[in-house]
Structure 1
Amino acid sequence: MRITLLGTGDATGTPVIGCNCPTCQDGYRGGRSQRTRSAILVESDRGAVLIDTGPDLRTQMLKNNIGRIDGVIWTHGHYDHFAGFAEFHRVQYNVDVYGLVETLDYIFEYLKFMHPKRHNIPLYKPFNLIGLEFTLFEVVHPPAKKPVGIIIRHAGKKVVITGDCQRNIPQKSMQHIMNPDLLIADAIVPPTVGVKKHMNTDEAMDLARETGAKDVVFTHLSHFFKPHDEAVEDYPLAYDGMVFEL
């Protein structure tokens, strides 16, 4: 199993339009503070799946030499997590897409011209794609309707992706996400910046400790961190193109 974090930024991405803070300046110069919007590529020897399809998907696919995919799983119906799916128009038809009924209902209103193949997936019920096992679990991310995180299992390895979420993950979900080999956690800001809809770095690290994660990396990152090469001295921050082999 190979996981590539194609986009590790929050809804605005970094650099933020019109901002000249040190982190955005590092992004303008092409440093690792340059972050595109949410997308994760999951690969096996049987194919490739995208988890979320943010607005920068075309650039991400070209940069990472991704020719086609075997499915898309959407975590929730926020623009920065699905709008890039339109980049498949006239490239790949009838893509298989997976998610909760509420999520797919919302996204299909925007992307129904694409005629994707819809697969309604219930919470906590494993399903198989490209030889890997995926499970959706409930998280809290207001005002999104029924946001989810994703568990991936293969060959004794377990990866947990929180998706966008607050720290108050439901207890039933907590029972499912314990002891991951890798936790990919939403951590949009350092603790000095107030936030309500997402975890900050302290909360994400607390989640890593509670779950007993062997390894953790933070994603969905804002420009409120120091430039990446400085910030990673304090936090396990992801960057666009970061790869994990499990």
Structure 2
Amino acid sequence: MKLTVLGTGDTVGTPKIGCDCEVCKAALARGLERLRSTYLIEVEGHHILIDTSPDLRKQLLLAGSPKIDAVLWTHAHYDHIAGYNEFYRIQKYPPGYAAKGVMDDVAKYFHFVDFKKYPQTPYVPFELFGIKFTFVEVNHPGMYTCGVIIEYNGRKIGITSDTNDVLSDRTVAAFENCDIMFIDALMNPTIHIGKHMNYAEAIAFADRVKPKEFHLVHMSHNIPLDWKYVCHDGFSVEI
């Protein structure tokens, strides 16, 4: 199984429109754009997306235009779902999987799209193409949101999605001892936003749940490209 991070940016991406900060200029100069949040999973000829960002067309072209067999959604904010309509006239809309509250929100947003919906119960695993997925509730005030646990071949990957660090004991336990984690880190340590973790909070959360390896994602232009643990678009892992 291979997982590729197709987008490591926040809702506006990096470079940010109209910004001439050093991070935005460096992202342009070095070809290190941060597209919006999407993950691609490949296993035995099947392809699964976690979230469908507004940048999905570009992301799938860069990934070799795979046919997508299923989509998982973590929550219904624009930057995590809007790209689903990119499947129009490309392929049949892939079936969607999400916690029930998330699925209800996505279905309202895409009321004009007829697609198969498979609402899931948080903390109850389900299987797709031999991979076990579990949605776990996180804390993203203003929008019901779930992180994702991925298990395959005895190994475990955790994706926090958008969240602050005030999480239930059940969710913290679910994220403990991952082989690899991708952790929300929107801002640098000098800026605190209640809906997300900042760089320092994300590292502290990693220390709390103790993954063998972790990478920071969903970053704004306030986080430099070369800081430790910073993930880049196109990063992939195989388990």
TM-score normalised over the length of structure 1? 0.94
Structure 1 residue 55: deviation in Å? 0.3
Q: What residue number does 1:210 align with? A: 208
Deviates more, 1:149-158 or 1:109-118: 109-118
Judge conservation of contact 1:139–1:162 (CA < 8 Å) in 2. yes
Shift of the 85–94 alpha-carbon distance from structure 1 to 2, 3 Å rule, reads closer
Q: Deviations over 1:133-152 (max 9, x none)?
A: 0000010001102x100000
Distance 1:6 1:124 in 2: 25
Judge conservation of contact 1:165–1:198 (CA < 8 Å) in 2. yes
- Corresponding residue SS for 2:110: helix
- Corresponding residue SS for 2:237: strand
Structure 1 residue 22: deviation in Å? 0.8
What is the aligned counterpart of 1:178 among 176, 179, 188?
Answer: 176
Judge conservation of contact 2:87–2:93 (CA < 8 Å) in 1. no
Distance 1:112 1:217 in 2: 35
Structure 1 residue 112: deviation in Å? 2.9
Gaps of 5+ in 1: none
Distance 1:66 1:240 in 2: 16
Q: In angstroms, what is the RMSD of aligned CA positions?
A: 1.1
Structure 1 residue 67: deviation in Å? 2.3
Q: What residue number does 1:135 align with? A: 134
Structure 1 residue 115: deviation in Å? 1.2
Structure 1 residue 105: deviation in Å? 1.4
Deviates more, 1:104-113 or 1:165-174: 104-113
Q: What residue number does 1:245 align with? A: 238
- Corresponding residue SS for 2:111: helix
Q: What residue number does 2:122 align with? A: 123
Distance 2:223 2:153 in 1: 36
Distance 1:15 1:244 in 2: 25
> How many equivalent residue pairs?
239
Gaps of 5+ in 2: none
TM-score normalised over the length of structure 2? 0.97
- Corresponding residue SS for 2:57: helix
Counting aligned pairs with the same residue, the percent is 38
Distance 1:95 1:20 in 2: 38
Q: Deviations over 1:61-101 (max 9, x none)?
A: 00110321110000001000000111011112241100022
Mapping for residues 38-49 of structure 1, pairs under 5 Å? 38-49=37-48
What is the aligned counterpart of 1:201 among 177, 184, 199?
Answer: 199
- Corresponding residue SS for 1:29: helix
Shift of the 64–46 alpha-carbon distance from structure 1 to 2, 3 Å rule, reads closer
Q: Deviations over 1:1-47 (max 9, x none)?
A: 21100010000001111000011112222432x11101001111141
Q: What residue number does 2:9 align with? A: 9
- Corresponding residue SS for 1:185: strand
Structure 2 counterpart of 1:215, one-letter code:
E
Distance 1:114 1:45 in 2: 28
- Corresponding residue SS for 1:69: coil
Mapping for residues 1-246 of structure 1, pairs under 5 Å? 1-32=1-32, 34-145=33-144, 147-226=145-224, 228=225, 231-232=226-227, 235-246=228-239
